[in-house]
């Protein structure tokens, strides 16, 4: 909910709360007609805010969209102290968004048990990340920091009939602020513990009556939560610079063009893991502080991402809109990961990733009478390359260099329409046909001594992998649904949706250990049935949205790495089948004219039915489904939050607090000592808006209980003579103070 002036800011939050006390604590009938009028006005003011989403490619009321979707607006993001997209997991049921192991800005995202464990190039996410209408094909740089954003939407369940590629688990949309042509400027400065110093700037104006321009940028800095003990370098620090430029040209009343460009550079140090066991080679013991580490590598790290997009929207007439979106994105990562986190130059992994993508989408949107639909054509081309060396010391020093590229060409056609049969019933039918072509070149060489990846020269001691192969995959994904609008405040919906994620090649393939490692792994699919309600009660003072779902997950892609002697055997399995069932609840209620509560609950019951695992050491295949559980998928996620609004010093003070709980979570499919037990985080904040409508002051505390939770790690109990079990943790307690000014 954006506050554009003093009047909006002072009164609109109270609209979320007024008059519920008359229901909860006993209403008193008005004695006069004037009082009746006043009470009616108060009830109207007390109604919950109307939330707009674009889940179906057009702006709609959240309560009319037959999709399980969470939307968090810019003002709520600020009041809740949400600085990074990963925190959104606390406000969307059955959702996991974490920073990946050994990185600062690579995203691990799961929704309803479906996602991507391994952020290696060439592997594709099961949850689609979008900046406006542009799909981000790689997780590197996808742990987006939040600035100048209009809202963030999380769509749960397969979204393939309307959204880009590989949205088998769901989609996360980062919706930037739209240009209006108004003269606007905003600056926000933040200081916090661990030396946090952030500066965010944004603004827009009209160059002419038809041409608007906007720009935003941020510099985000923080000292490390810990230290590399043997070098003195910071660990878990932050050094990010990011910016975005937007242009909009209103060529005619019904034709507009929009251009956007963004760039982010992350120069934070590489992230070192915390050893959970003493080193067998160096005898180093685990540091006392979980954010401390040791390393035998430089801590240099660089992640650069950028993108440009051009959008044309043509309102052909009152019924038809044609929209075209062309975009390009690229990213380069150059980093160092010390697997064993010791002073000894062993299990060192210098890594380099590079990717480029272009996409073109042509949309046809129709809305007239009883029928509305969205259809389109989508083309994607992507090249993802990388190389990393694993320096192994076990008797003699050797380096295993793994690298290669995968090129993807994808074409898709989609359509989804909803027909309003009568005042209460409507029906939805959609489908998407996708065809992917992939070309992969993969190599894996072993060298004597310490060799950096991509450095020419040297004679391989052993060629473990060297192949160049192609594969094609295609699939049709249907969607069928119904919507029953019982009254203005209650809708019941049901749907069947088929989700699809393309197959590919294992970029870590080790043919010397697994002769079939050069064969492509196959696509995965999920058939999801969902039944849900969107409802508002007590004169729109209680919003209750819920969904139950059942998903049959076939040929699930699981990346497995196992130590075999001094080597690591990689394998991408197509688990034969799994079942995922669950429920989701999102409730918002006003208790008094100043007090609001939020409750979010997600329950997931995910079980493997069959997993045929090839053991590279024993050369045998076994069904291990009785041993495996879903990674990054807690059974229970729940958040209880409250917001209290009160007049203060002529302005308005908004107090926020929440308890965010996640039950026990496995980091990998096999149980390990890395796995985290259940935990609850406490967050709280206070935001004061000045009476002039320009200034605000926000004090935020996150993880106030200072819970230490393992969220990622490496688990090689015996590799190259070392016991390598290293963990990565969530942020500790952080407190920040932000001063904002806007006009």
Which tokens sit at 171? Answer: 């989609």
Indicate the length of the chain as a whole number. Answer: 743
Judge whether 448 and 405 are in contact, CB under 8 Å.
no
Residue 409, strand partner residues:
381, 437
CA 219 – CA 239 distance, rounded (Å)? 8
What pLDDT, on the 0 to 100 scale, is given for residue 393?
A: 65
Residue 453 makes CB contacts below 8 A (sequence gap 6+) with: 350, 351, 352, 387, 388, 389, 401, 402, 403
Closest CA to 427 of 436, 435, 417, 437: 417
**DSSP class of 269:** P
Give the mean pLDDT per block of 10 residues along the chain (743 residues): 37 34 34 44 59 78 90 94 94 95 88 89 88 88 88 92 83 92 96 98 96 97 97 96 97 97 96 94 93 95 96 96 96 92 89 94 94 94 92 72 94 95 96 96 89 78 93 96 96 96 92 87 95 95 97 89 65 85 97 95 95 74 89 97 96 97 94 93 98 96 97 85 90 98 94
What pLDDT, on the 0 to 100 scale, is given for residue 394?
A: 54
* Whole-number CA gyration radius for the chain: 26
Q: Give the up-direction half-sphere exposure of residue 619: CA atoms within 13 A in the CB hemisphere.
A: 4
Judge whether 117 and 713 are in contact, CB under 8 Å.
no
CA 529 – CA 552 distance, rounded (Å)? 9
Tokens 């963030």 sit on residue: 152
Q: For the chain, give every domain's residue range.
A: 6-742
Closest CA to 520 of 682, 605, 408, 620: 408
What pLDDT, on the 0 to 100 scale, is given for residue 674?
A: 93
**DSSP class of 91:** G
CA distances (Å), origin 598, targets 1, 28, 75, 703: 16, 27, 16, 18
Judge whether 273 and 714 are in contact, CB under 8 Å.
yes
Which tokens sit at 579? Answer: 């079942």
What pLDDT, on the 0 to 100 scale, is given for residue 175?
A: 93
CA 434, 437, 442: angle at the middle one, nearest 5? Answer: 140
Closest CA to 125 of 152, 159, 87, 91: 159
CA distances (Å), origin 459, targets 205, 368, 387, 456, 663: 60, 68, 17, 10, 50
What pLDDT, on the 0 to 100 scale, is given for residue 735?
A: 98
Through-space distance between the first and last CA atoms of the chain, rounded to whole angstroms: 17
SS3 689: strand
CA 527 – CA 530 distance, rounded (Å)? 10
**What CATH topology corresponds to 6-742?**
Maltoporin; Chain A (2.40.170)
Judge whether 411 and 435 are in contact, CB under 8 Å.
yes
Decide the pairing of beta strands 127-131 and 170-176.
parallel
CA 128 – CA 146 distance, rounded (Å)? 18
Judge whether 653 and 642 are in contact, CB under 8 Å.
no
Per-position DSSP letters for 523-568, written without gaps between them = PEEEEEEEEEEEEEETTTTEEEEEEEEEEEEEEEEEEEEEEETTEE
CA 294 – CA 338 distance, rounded (Å)? 9
Decide the pairing of beta strands 60-61 and 184-192.
unpaired
CA distances (Å), origin 471, targets 466, 507, 547, 625: 17, 14, 38, 28
pTM of this prediction exceeds 0.75: yes
What pLDDT, on the 0 to 100 scale, is given for residue 12?
A: 36
């Amino acid at each position: 909910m954006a506050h554009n002036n003093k009047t909006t800011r002072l009164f609109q939050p109270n609209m979320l709360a007024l008059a519920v006390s008359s229901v909860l604590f006993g209403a008193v009938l008005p004695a006069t007609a004037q009082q009746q009028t006043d009470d009616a006005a108060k009830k109207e003011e007390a109604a919950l805010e109307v939330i707009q989403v674009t889940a179906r490619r057009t702006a709609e009321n959240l309560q009319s969209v037959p999709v399980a979707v969470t939307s968090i607006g810019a003002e709520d993001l600020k009041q809740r102290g949400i600085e990074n997209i990963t925190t959104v997991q606390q406000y969307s049921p059955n959702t996991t968004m974490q920073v990946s192991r050994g990185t600062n800005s690579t995203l691990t995202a799961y929704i309803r048990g479906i996602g991507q464990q391994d952020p290696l190039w060439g592997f594709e996410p099961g949850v689609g990340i979008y900046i406006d209408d542009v799909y981000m094909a790689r997780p590197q740089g996808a742990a987006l920091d939040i600035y100048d954003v209009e809202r963030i939407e999380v769509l749960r369940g397969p979204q393939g009939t309307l959204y880009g590629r590989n949205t088998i688990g769901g989609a996360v949309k980062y919706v930037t602020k739209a240009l209006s042509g108004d003269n606007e400027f905003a600056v926000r400065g933040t200081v916090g513990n661990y030396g946090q110093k952030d500066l965010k700037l944004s603004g827009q104006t009209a160059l002419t009556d038809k041409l608007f321009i906007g720009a935003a940028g941020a510099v985000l800095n923080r000292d490390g939560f810990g230290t590399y003990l043997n070098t003195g370098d910071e660990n878990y620090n932050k050094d990010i610079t990011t910016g975005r430029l937007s242009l909009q040209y209103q060529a005619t009343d019904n034709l507009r063009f929009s251009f956007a460009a963004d760039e982010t550079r992350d120069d934070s140090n590489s992230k070192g893991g915390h050893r959970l066991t003493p080193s067998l080679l160096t005898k180093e013991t685990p540091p006392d502080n979980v954010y401390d580490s040791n390393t035998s590598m430089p801590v240099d790290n660089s992640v650069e991402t950028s993108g440009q997009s051009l959008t044309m929207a043509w309102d052909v007439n009152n019924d038809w809109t044609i929209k075209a979106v062309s975009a390009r994105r690229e990213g380069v990562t150059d980093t160092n990961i010390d697997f064993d986190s010791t002073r000894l130059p062993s299990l060192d992994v210098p890594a380099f990733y590079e990717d480029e993508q272009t996409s073109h989408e042509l949309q046809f949107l129709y809305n007239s009478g009883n029928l509305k639909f969205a259809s389109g054509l989508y083309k994607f081309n992507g090249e993802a390359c990388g190389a990393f060396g694993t320096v192994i010391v076990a008797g003699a020093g050797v380096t295993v260099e793994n690298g290669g590229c995968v090129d993807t060409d994808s074409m898709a056609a989609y359509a989804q329409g909803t027909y309003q049969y009568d005042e209460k019933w409507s029906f939805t039918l959609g489908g998407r046909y996708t065809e992917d072509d992939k070309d992969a070149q993969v190599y894996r060489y072993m060298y004597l001594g310490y060799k950096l990846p991509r450095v020419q020269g040297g004679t391989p001691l052993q060629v473990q992998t060297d192949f160049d192969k192609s594969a094609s995959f295609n699939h049709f994904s249907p969607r069928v649904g119904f919507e029953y609008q019982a009254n203005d405040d209650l809708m019941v919906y049901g749907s069947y949706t088929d989700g699809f994620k393309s197959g590919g090649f294992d970029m870590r393939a080790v043919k010397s250990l697994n002769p079939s490692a050069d064969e492509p792994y196959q696509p995965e699919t999920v058939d999801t049935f969902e039944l849900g309600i969107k409802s508002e009660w007590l004169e729109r003072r209680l919003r209750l949205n819920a969904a139950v779902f059942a998903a049959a997950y076939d040929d699930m892609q699981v990346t497995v790495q196992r130590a075999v002697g001094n080597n690591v055997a990689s394998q991408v399995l197509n688990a034969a089948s799994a079942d995922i069932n669950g429920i989701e609840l999102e409730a918002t209620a006003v208790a008094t004219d100043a007090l609001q509560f939020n409750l979010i609950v997600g329950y997931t019951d995910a079980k493997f039915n069959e997993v045929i695992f090839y053991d590279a050491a024993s050369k045998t295949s076994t069904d291990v489904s009785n041993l495996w559980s879903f990674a990054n998928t807690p059974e229970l996620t729940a958040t209880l939050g409250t917001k209290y609004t009160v007049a203060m010093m002529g302005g308005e003070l908004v107090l926020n607090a929440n308890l965010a709980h996640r039950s026990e979570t496995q980091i990998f499919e096999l149980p390990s000592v890395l796995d985290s037990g259940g935990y609850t985080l406490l967050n709280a904040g206070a935001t004061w808006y000045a009476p002039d409508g320009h200034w605000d002051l926000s004090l935020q505390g996150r993880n106030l209980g200072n819970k230490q939770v393992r969220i990622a790690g490496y688990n090689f109990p015996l590799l190259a003579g070392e016991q390598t079990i290293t963990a990565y943790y969530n942020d500790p307690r952080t407190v920040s103070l932000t001063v904002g000014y806007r006009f």
